Amino acid sequence: MASAVEEFRNASRAEVEPGDEDRQFYRLTPGKKMIVMLGGPTMNLLIYLVLTVVLLSTLGTRHDDATTTVSAVVKCVVPANSSQAANGSCPANATPAPAYNVLQPGMSSSRSTAPGSTSGMTPSPSSSDRPGRPCR
């Protein structure tokens, strides 16, 4: 074991160019060693903080187009890549959408409700009651 350690030391010393003997890590003062060793974790922390600030400031932005009003209700469940989904038609064997007979366009949710419950759904006021808001 001691011979292997000595071989590694000799290989490491062979890589040192003439004039750089005093720049080897083991010859640095303890303060300089601490600075070198803390440099990596400090950069990791700095990168973490920058990425967190960027993600929280971009992903958490408020949208002005948020709404609780139902704009449309589909009649049936069809695969998204089918031709029926593209033109809005329902084939005869399609599964009816669960919300088709329950929800209607223009309904608005004033509070959160349990799935399947429509007790929080109320018809929204007409577009003339909301001046300046686009019709959807």
Where helices occur in 15-119 by DSSP H, the ranges are 30-59, 83-87
The H or E element that residue 77 is part of is strand 76-77
31-87 pLDDT, tens digit per residue, is 999 999 999 999 999 999 999 999 988 886 677 777 788 888 888 888 888 887 777
Where helices occur in 60-91 by DSSP H, the ranges are 83-87
Burial class (CB in 10 A: 0-12, 13-18, 19+), 22: exposed
- Asked whether the whole model's pTM tops 0.75, one would answer no
